[in-house]
Amino acid sequence: EDQVTQSPEALRLQEGESSSLNCSYTVSGLRGLFWYRQDPGKGPEFLFTLYSAGEEKEKERLKATLTKKESFLHITAPKPEDSATYLCAVQVSGNTPLVFGKGTRLSVIA
């Protein structure tokens, strides 16, 4: 069974304190790995797509990386506005729905 596991479940950082979120996956075949951000009461917002091991994507304070078994979302010098739940998802095959992890709730304290 295809599985996506995110850790930690929750993370509390001081403003400016860099850290990383982990997404490990066990799938029959990986067509793509996706990161989303979700704010309370809103739909997930697309951040990144990664297709192959070694690939990296950056956007402002966020950087996503991919290996053959896991992905990391690195947050550099976070600000309070980065507080949200970050979701990782994989596409296994064809036009099937993404398989989501349970997310990491990030809180950045000023």
Partner 1 sequence: GAVVSQHPSWVICKSGTSVKIECRSLDFQATTMFWYRQFPKQSLMLMATSNEGSKATYEQGVEKDKFLINHASLTLSTLTVTSAHPEDSSFYICSARPPGRGEQFFGPGTRLTVL
Supply angle C-alpha 79, 82, 15, rounded to 5: 25
Is 15 or 45 the residue whose CB approaches partner 1 more closely? 45
The residue ranges that bind partner 1 (CB under 8 A) are: 31-32, 34, 36, 41-46, 49, 87, 89, 91, 95-98, 100-103
Is 41 or 54 the residue whose CB approaches partner 1 more closely? 41
Residues in CB range of 94: below 8 A, 6 or more apart: none
What span, in angstroms and rounded, lies between the C-alpha atoms of 57 and 63? Answer: 6
Please state the closest distance from residue 32 (CB atom) to partner 1, in A.
4
Please answer whether residues 15 and 79 qualify as being in contact, where contact means their C-beta atoms are separated by less than 8 angstroms: yes
Please state the closest distance from residue 2 (CB atom) to partner 1, in A.
13
Give the number of residues written for the chain.
Answer: 110
Please state the closest distance from residue 56 (CB atom) to partner 1, in A.
17
Is 37 or 78 the residue whose CB approaches partner 1 more closely? 37
Is 45 or 58 the residue whose CB approaches partner 1 more closely? 45
- Taking the CB of residue 106, how many other CB atoms lie within 10 A of it? 21
